[in-house]
Structure 1
């Protein structure tokens, strides 16, 4: 027994007889509930109504979940489009026999793109301010939510790291392994805590929240920089960008544009219209 080696063999769900409660799904629920509570505090500070907050929750849940799923399919598993189309949108597998799988295969890059689109629609239909106003605020709970999503990945023994080649690391027993790997999910979760704290502090304790696009840009730079570097110790998930461009993983290639966009909003972007 090595002090720095953890044998990881968790229970992934509770069998309630008529239903299996997957802890991964519980982590998503926790993420949305905490996100709602934080956003409620922010909306109260901004003088926004509870009705607009309720609408934001609906747009966020639908947008992020749909985008995360589509992002995974497009970037990492496009064969599902022709081989098992309905499994893209439903928590079931149909190919090779009907099976309840839960919602598996969710990509954070797809979630990020969908979040921007859903916030655009939310602002246009409900808030009627600027899309950057809502993005500057919603990224705070999103950063915290990312922590729990990665904890869910750890529970599921998915998105694992490379073998450490030492006594340090996590042995994922449910994968039938005996050698320790980097707990890449925990690395990300740990650093995302600091992403959240930096955004939270910047909003409440500085005047940067008054600079349209700054918090949104800061979120993009911090979160996707973490993602870029953690990818170096992750097992490759493949994807068309890695296969065609090489050098970096698909996750790294997809992170680079987000960082560049973030830097633009932090240091270059000038709003055309001032908020009242």
Structure 2
């Protein structure tokens, strides 16, 4: 097995010669659109309001983006952003008083997950819906978004793995000439498998009717996969080098435990089909 050289320019083009259009953003949007179409199919099949789905989608998009941004700034680069608070909220970096467009270069998936959960809670509270029903059904499509985000990371040659110490792996030529584990692809593939598992549980079993079960499976299985894959991934920030478990793994543990608790809870909660 030989190594594969990867040297794609992450920037597709520039809008008006200033604003870069990148593969990451394109893949991010594609993942959201695919997830929305599948969610639309689910809502239609269960004769639920598509208008409610549109409102929920708006909550989720805001929650995910805000959560991903704050997650990165708080967990991975707090020292910098604590002194550059404005840069948390704007896609510019201020250097010597001059604004340089950079886009939001730091996004954390754990923060996005928490942001999505908070968004669902706020939506359910405002529109008087069953939060567990919403969590379970959005859980089905969530891995689709995660998979496409990781494919975007691969296109950007970022968040890659450790050296394979062999003649196999992917050489991310924009950084070095070392064959590495393509952990972005590992994650994308595992997320697609998790989507398949959730879809099977939803369509073929009665377990999906237990409130909180699908959401519990999503949290426990997806973040367990994330925790394992992190062992093959390069640390994203330098302070992780002195840690037994890196930040991604530490943040995954509470999600795994929460997922197990939701599965246990679902066994005791009466079945429902109420939105």
**1:127-183 deviation digits (Å, cap 9, x = unpaired):** x222111000101111111000000111111111111111011111111x1111111
- Tell me whether 1:265 sits opposite 2:266 in the alignment: no
Give 1:17 shift.
4.8
Cα distance in 1 for residues equivalent to 2:269 and 2:95: 50
Matches within 5 A, 1:2-151: 3-18=1-16, 19-96=19-96, 97-126=98-127, 128-151=128-151
**1:34-88 deviation digits (Å, cap 9, x = unpaired):** 1110111111122211210110110010000100110111110112333322221
Give 1:109 shift.
0.8
Q: Assess, with a 3 A threshold, how the Cα gap between structure 1 residues 205 and 95 changes in structure 2: closer, same or farther.
A: farther
Cα distance in 1 for residues equivalent to 2:247 and 2:171: 25
Give 1:275 shift.
5.6
Cα distance in 2 for residues equivalent to 1:79 and 1:249: 17
Cα distance in 2 for residues equivalent to 1:231 and 1:165: 17
Give 1:20 shift.
2.5
Cα distance in 2 for residues equivalent to 1:34 and 1:80: 35
Cα distance in 1 for residues equivalent to 2:43 and 2:103: 33
- Normalised by the length of structure 2, the TM-score is 0.92
- Normalised by the length of structure 1, the TM-score is 0.92
- Tell me whether 1:172 sits opposite 2:169 in the alignment: no
Equivalent pair of 1:216/1:262 in contact (CA under 8 Å): yes
Cα distance in 2 for residues equivalent to 1:247 and 1:116: 28
Count residues with an aligned counterpart: 270
> What SS does structure 1 have at the residue aligned with 2:95?
coil
Q: Assess, with a 3 A threshold, how the Cα gap between structure 1 residues 43 and 170 changes in structure 2: closer, same or farther.
A: same
Aligned to 1:191: 190
Give 1:208 shift.
1.6
Unaligned runs of 5+ in 2: none
Give 1:16 shift.
4.3
Q: Assess, with a 3 A threshold, how the Cα gap between structure 1 residues 30 and 88 changes in structure 2: closer, same or farther.
A: same
Cα RMSD between the aligned structures?
1.9
